[in-house]
Amino acid sequence: MTGGRGKGAVKNTTTALMPADERKAGKRKAPVGRSSIPKAKKEKKADKDPNKPKRPPSAFFVFLEEFRITFKKENPNVKAVSAVGKAAGEKWKSMSEEDKAPYEAKARKRKADYEKQMKDYNKKQETSANGVADDEDAEEANDEENEASGEDGEEEDDDDED
């Protein structure tokens, strides 16, 4: 048997090239004490903000919204969600680019709306991170700052004349 490896052949060539005294000899053993070491707890994910806008659907999902209605009318006995998804996927693949165009246009419009909503949402998050909860509080804080600096402070001018 030339060229074949027997049972005792070394599989890892890097260990074969090492000096014999540095190689690990004998059977492999399980790592010592690994089960007794407690694992670090995973960090808890931040709670999802219910006010955050949902991501917009893709063109396929816009198509799927309409397809579900027609599919349920044609097949009232089919209750499986997977059957609706499979049928929709097959129809979507068979559709031409012209047929898909209105759904892609709707998806682009929804994406633009989503981006606008996200800008507004992010602005609100920045203001709340700065310690101001909403717009009314921001106006009150500006009024207080103006009075303190003397810009809008007619009452302060009266106090200075005394």
Helix axis angle, 97-129 to 59-74, nearest 10°: 120
pLDDT tens-digit map of 98-141 = 999 999 999 999 999 999 999 999 999 888 888 654 455 445 44
pLDDT at residue number 57: 95
Q: What is the pLDDT of residues 147-159, one digit of tens each?
A: 545 544 444 445 4
Neighbours of 106 (CB within 10 A): 17
Q: Work out the mean pLDDT of the chain and round it to a whole number.
A: 76
Residue 123 is predicted with a pLDDT of: 92
Which residues have CB under 8 Å from 34's CB, separation 6+?
A: none
Is the Cβ–Cβ distance between 56 and 113 less than 8 Å?
Answer: yes
What's this model's pTM, rounded to 2 decimal places?
0.51
Question: Which of helix, strand or coil describes residue 49?
Answer: coil
CB 102 within 8 A of CB 59: no
Q: Where are the domains of the chain?
A: 59-143
What's the confidence (pLDDT) of residue 43? 76
The CATH class for the domain spanning 59-143 reads mainly alpha
